[in-house]
Structure 1
Amino acid sequence: MHLYFKRLVCSCICLAITELCAAQTTLPAFGEITAEEQSLTECSFDKEADAVVLLDEASADHNDQYNLIVNRRKRLKVLKPKGNRHGDISISYLSKDDIEYISDIEAYTWNFRSGSGPEIKKVTPSAIYRQKVNDRVSVVRIAMPDVQVGSIIEYKYITTSKSYAYLDDWYFQTELPVIHSRFSLVVMPNYEFAYRVYKTELLPISIKQEKNSGRIYFGMDSIAGLRDEPFMDAEKDYLQHVEFQLSGYQGTFGGTTKYMTTWAELTRELMSNPGFGVQLNKNIAVGDEWTNRLKAIPSPYEKMSYIYNFVYKNYTWNGLGGIASSSGVKDTWEKRKGSSSDINLMLINLLQEAKLEAYPLLVSERGHGKVNPEYPFVDQFNKVLAYVLIGDQKYVLDAAGAWTPPFMIPFSVINTKAFIVNRKKGGIIALTENDKKDRNFVNIFATVDESGQMKGSATIESYEYARLNRLRAWQRDKDRFKENFYTSYQAGLTIDSLHWKNMDNDSLPAVQEFGFSIPPTASGDYKLINLNLFSGIAKNPFISNIRFTNIDYGCLQSYTIVENIELPASLKVENLPRNVRMIMPDTSITMSRQLQVNSNILQVKYTITTTRSVFTADEYEYVKDFYKKMSEIMNEQVVLKKM
């Protein structure tokens, strides 16, 4: 049974801790396959899994040059045909400036035949290769040989990093269930590390420290896998894991210097950092034309909008993220290209130069994970944005992300916490949006012929976040856009002559106009008419029996669908679904349907609204049940009978 409902967070500084759970399982040595592992055909605590991680362990230490040395090995077994995909191993590392390097790779596949010994195949050097992902990251790929159902895969390697600053968090949980997970760490002399454990209350953890060596051990067992769920936020928020951060060091003459253990200390550290705060004081040679143009703009909001639009439209994001500038704002200005931190720190610099009140805002996008305000782990954040104050209004700008008008919060950070980096006005803030919605209005005119075929035209007006989301989806993949938003409502539904309006005007809805056709669905003299068209809910998205993550829509939802369907004189309405209104007990979701027939015109109106954008995993059963009933009602068909 899967285990996730409530999460326990344990924190400690200096890695000095008493044992929380004494149970320690001795793991088999590399290449030593146990009889239990050979006979395993199903994961008892996650029976849906197509493979299972038998063990995952790593130990972190240092060499004489105080490089971070991590020895890691992993063993897994394929349980189902779909599990064969786990035979393609990928190990990423920071290759820029030789920050990290992967070495001493050794890997094997074991297959077991009845009546004979194990068949062992070692990975050859030609099956191991390196691939550059971008300017910062590379990956080692390992093609495991002869992977099939029943195979056991095991591999090990060493990661050498320049310093302990590149110590990764340890994840006990993955997409696959994990039987044994172990991590140990030796802290360098004179250094202190803080750590935080995120886990469910239902899973025990073992934490031990050796007094002589200073090594600390973490261990968990029998952890179910966490797989993708509809409308989930960052899986990182729900994975059982431990996070690390350097918290202090002892000086040569004694005494301990604390390092970023409060938000104030984090602010001081960031503002004095050459790749962060120092960039805000750089004098960018913008030129007289730029300066004179800004002086001619009287309104602070218009001035902010001009700077933001200029940067967004004229500077190219190179795909790299982070919170510190890699090239510097001057170089970014000249080359018109940079990382998200390069571009957004340059944006803040320009806003401040224009005498606007602008600050760096550290954010963690929903896909990256939640920010815990109790402790200033800088790794909680994955991006820096601009935070602008104009009178009582607050604006959040991202010139290196998906296009968002300056009067809207970027969709990727709604429902998150962020950190304003400023000594006087800094602190944690919540980025919420209760006014702007994912709002659509659908207007349909159609006719049904004697065979039951429906033809018509639809106009969809997409406002605010619906406008942004649909335009982005259209630009990414036009064919998939039509499938996702239009043709999934009924088999055989086709659309033609799609036209867009207002694509370049952020203050107006994005209008989609198209024709559509639906083939007849008939049973003898009866014709069935589907009324659930372009509603956003073709079917119930919540079908799993259990939910591990929160349901996060990102923003509030609003859908209105109005249909006018002309019926042929030869067919009469045999069965008309009743008018209905559904509402959640806390009024967070409402749905209504109204139908009437005037002469030969069938008039239909659906409305669906939400007043909350986040529902916890504990509320899943209520949401699932509501959507089940709602989708059944919306998919009720009108029955027409031949006269």
Structure 2
Amino acid sequence: MSLVFISLCTAQTTLPEPGEFTEAEKAITECPFDKEADAVVIFDEASADTDEQHKLIYIRRTRLKILKPKGNRYANISIPYYSREEIEYISDIEAYTCNPGTDPEVKRVPSSAIFRQKLNDYWSVVKIALPNVQPGTIIEYKYITTAKSYRIKDWNFQRELPVMHSHFSLAVMPNYAFSYRVFKSERLPIEIKKREREGRIYFEMNNIAGLREEPFMDAEKDYLQHVEFQMSGYQGTFGGTTRYMTTWDEVTRELMTDASFGVQLNKNIPLGPEWLSSVKAITPAFERMSAVYNFVYKNINWNGTRSITAVDGVKETWDKKQGSSGDVNLLLINLLKEAELEVYPLLVSERGHGKVDPETPFIDQFSKTMACVLIAGNKYVLDATGPYTPPFMIPFSVINTKAFLVAKKKSAIITLTETKKKDRNLVLIQARIDDNGAMTGKAIIQSDEYARLTRMRAWQNDKDRFKENYYTTYEAGLKVDSLEMHNLENDSLSLEQQFNFSLPPTVSGDYKLINLNLFSGIAKNPFISDIRFTNIDFGCLQSHCVTESIELPPSLKIETLPKNLRMIMPDTSITFSRLMDVKDNELRVKYEISTTRSVFAADEYEYVKDFYKRMAGIMNEQIVLRKP
């Protein structure tokens, strides 16, 4: 990553005209630097300028080619834009397809196949329906975005698909100064050209492999090759330069005087004296904080719009009982202040949004405002818009991240870590095997802390999929019935799941094969890719214990009892053990998995992959039964 300040981009690489496709492009059958790719971006280019009304004008053009049948999905072109009050508008849309060997080869997409769809009160999308897309099809689309807000968007050179050529050209409006920072791999060169007389800067990268989804992946943004921008100053008509947010203290001053942020914290909310008096009467500060948080969470709805600042304002949010994430959480902070608690806004970047660079005071690094309450030296992080999280737990989405505490005298970048609360499961199985090798039994699973939260949300979202994801995925033919969920309403107790299960026999000649890896959380090794580009981030520490008691029939005996063993990573960050013994026709099994850290760097991938491969193999090692 590099950070550069500019007060003011060069002639760009010459590309074919819109709708003109070269013989070299038609001859592409695979991406030479990413041979597994289903499609490839031939070029992606954009320029940003301003018009006479100081509106920001983006002209963007993208050309890609479908290489494999699975790549057809990349022909679903959707261009989102912020349509509220016409802050942004998309116009001059052109699209072309080229199917080599057809007559005619090149077709311009008719305007009837280009349409707009309103997603909500804030966002709309332009969709382009492309005909006859197949492997070998080249797609091109071009459009202009006009924005009232002079805010330069980040430019991503990289995406899920490999990109052969990408460039961005920026003309900075006179008197304005911008800072930018480049994120890229040391192995990939970037070309940056400045022409200060023209007030332009130009960025270019070539031959960038695609970045695809991987298990337990940090935010894609953290690993994309990209450049970020933020306005850093403005020069007045009579001289002198006003600097904007070039230090974290300046960020604090700017935010606390902003009408859509700091001013909202002092708005008078018509609560009613009875509610406020009853809350203030709660003596333990933690209980008072919990009462306010639960009140806002249950009574004020998030409308789906993400924002750091208020969009409608906390008063309107209170009246409507809904608002953006900024509205709702600023209202929460406002009410916590009314309840005489020490509370501050906390700018966070959820893991899906990307990492925060403490050295760079860019507000765009953050995705949401949460509340940070200080009680007896402890910090409590509250979010009234995300999935419900008890006040004594950090929201899962921001564990292992950095956040910015916005306070006039206490501003600071802080690290949100969790070393006590874990993803904790205890599985108890009581089962029996019949003479044919079929297994029937009862399972009790106690999910605590983050495991409780994860399973609670999964259960509420889709009860049928819940069984499939957590239970029946372990073995073909495994059936679950009579599922009972206990302690759904009590955060301080385990989420207890009780059910009966049955597993048909697996027979090989005279032998019966029994799989003992049931409901452990490790059905198979999740790490199968040969190469890993991103860190492994489990989110929180793990603690899983499976205890099984299985009654064996007198007619069957264990051929060979697998050995007890223990595996430990060299730095003791992951530990796995298996214990087995047999006594009076009862097979007793215990698996334990625990971690002492939750993040592993990309260069540790081979070690983690090998550990999980061996561990999954051991857990799926079958017991062989035969007649004596």
TMscore range, shorter length: over 0.9
Deviation of 1:118 after TM superposition, in Å, equals 5.5
**Deviation digits for residues 251-291 of structure 1 (CA, Å, limit 9, x no counterpart):** 11101100111111111111111110000011112111112
What residue in structure 2 maps to residue 3 of structure 1? none
Displacement of 1:25 after TM fit? 4.6
Distance 1:576 1:522 in 2: 18
Of 334, 337, 346 in structure 2, the residue corresponding to residue 352 of structure 1 is: 337
Aligned to 2:181: 196
**SS of residue paired to 1:33:** coil
| SS across alignment from 2:419 | coil
Correspondence for 2:15 among 27, 36, 50 = 27
- Rounded to whole Å, the distance in 1 between the matches of 2:233 and 2:149 is 15
Provide the residue aligned with 2:379 in structure 1. Answer: 394
Asked if 2 retains the 8 angstrom alpha-carbon contact of 1:121 and 1:145, the reply is: no
Shift of 1:136: 1.0
Q: Which amino acid aligns with 1:155?
A: Y
| Separation (CA, whole Å) in 2 of partners of 1:90 and 1:143 | 9
1: CA distance, partners of 2:361 / 2:123: 26
SS of the equivalent of 2:65 reads: strand
Corresponding residue of 2:120: 134
What SS is found at the alignment partner of 1:474? helix
* Matches for 1:89-128 after TM superposition, within 5 Å: 89-113=77-101, 119-128=105-114
Q: How does 1:44-123 map to 2 (within 5 A)?
A: 44-113=32-101, 119-123=105-109
Aligned with residue 234 of structure 1, among 211, 215, 219: 219
- Residue 222 of structure 1 aligns with an amino acid whose one-letter code is N
- The letter for the 2-side match of 1:142 is I
**Which of 252, 256, 267 is 2:241 aligned to?**
256
Structure 1 residues 336-388: Cα deviation after superposition (integer angstroms, max 9, x where no partner): 11111111111111111111100000001000111111111101111000000
Q: CA deviation at 1:42?
A: 0.4
Q: Is the 8 A contact 2:345 2:370 kept in 1?
A: yes
Contact 1:15–1:195 under 8 Å retained in 2: no
2:262 alignment counterpart: 277
Q: Distance in 1 between matches of 2:20 and 2:97?
A: 12
Between the aligned partners of 1:356 and 1:461, the Cα distance in structure 2 is 35
The 2-side partners of 1:213 and 1:118 are apart by 42
Deviation of 1:211 (Å): 3.2
- Residue 366 of structure 1 aligns with which residue? 351
Structure 2: 5+ residue stretches without partners:
none
Deviations 1:499-518 (A, max 9, x none): 01111110111000000010
- Give the deviation of 1:478 after TM superposition: 1.1
Q: 1:310 aligns with which of 275, 288, 295?
A: 295
The one-letter code sitting in structure 2 at the alignment partner of 1:72 is R
Q: Equivalent pairs: percent with the same residue?
A: 68
Which of 391, 401, 416 matches 2:401?
A: 416
The DSSP-based 3-state class of the residue aligned with 1:164 is: coil
1:376-418 alpha-carbon deviations (Å, 9 max, x no partner)? 1101111000000011111000111100000000001000000
1:31 Cα deviation after fit:
2.2
Secondary structure of the 1:54 match is strand
Distance 2:176 2:325 in 1: 32
Residue 557 of structure 1 is aligned with which of 539, 542, 560?
542
Name the counterpart of 1:542: 527
- Matched with 1:146 is 132
2:6 maps to which of 10, 14, 29: 14
1:15 touches 1:216 (CA, 8 Å); kept in 2? no
**1:212-611 alignment runs, 5 A limit:** 212-611=197-596
Letter in 2 for 1:31: G
Quick check: 1:31–1:154 contact (8 Å CA) kept in 2? yes
Q: Deviations over 1:115-158 (max 9, x none)?
A: x7751121111111111112111100001121111010011110
Q: Equivalences for 1:612-623 in 2 at 5 Å?
A: 612-623=597-608
1:564-593 Cα offsets, whole Å, 9 max, x none, are 000000001112111110000000000000
Distance in 2 between residues matched to 1:510 and 1:15, nearest whole Å: 57
- Please give the TM-score of this superposition, normalised by the length of structure 2: 0.99
- Distance apart, 1:168 and its partner CA: 1.0
Secondary structure in structure 1 of the residue aligned to 2:371: strand
Deviations 1:197-221 (A, max 9, x none): 0000000000001233111100000
8 Å Cα contact 2:8/2:171 also seen in 1: no
Aligned match of 1:6:
none
CA distance in 1: counterparts of 2:320 and 2:96, whole angstroms? 47
| Conservation of the 8 A alpha-carbon contact between 2:349 and 2:402 | yes
Cα distance in 1 for residues equivalent to 2:504 and 2:520 = 19
**CA deviation profile, 1:527-566 (whole Å, cap 9, x unmatched):** 0010100000000000000001110010000000000000
Q: 1:194 is matched by which residue type in structure 2?
A: S
* CA deviation after TM superposition for structure 1 residue 335, in Å: 2.0
In the alignment, is residue 162 of structure 1 matched against residue 148 of structure 2?
Answer: yes
Say which SS state the counterpart of residue 65 (structure 1) adopts: coil
Residues 214-257 of structure 1 show CA distances to partners (whole Å, capped at 9, x for unaligned) of: 11100000000001000001100000000000110101110110
Which TM-score applies when normalising by structure 1?
0.96
Distance (whole Å) between structure 2 residues aligned to residue 405 and residue 295 of structure 1: 20
- 1:163 Cα deviation from its structure 2 partner: 2.9
Query: In structure 1, how many angstroms separate the alpha carbons of the residues matched to 2:88 and 2:305?
Result: 17
Bigger drift between 538-547 and 124-133 goes to 124-133
| Structure 1 segments unaligned to the other structure (5+ residues) | 1-8
Return the match for 1:36 from 24, 34, 38: 24
Deviation at 1:484, TM superposition (A): 0.9
TM-align CA RMSD: 1.3
One-letter amino acid matched to 1:381: F
One-letter amino acid of the structure 2 residue matched with residue 398 of structure 1: D
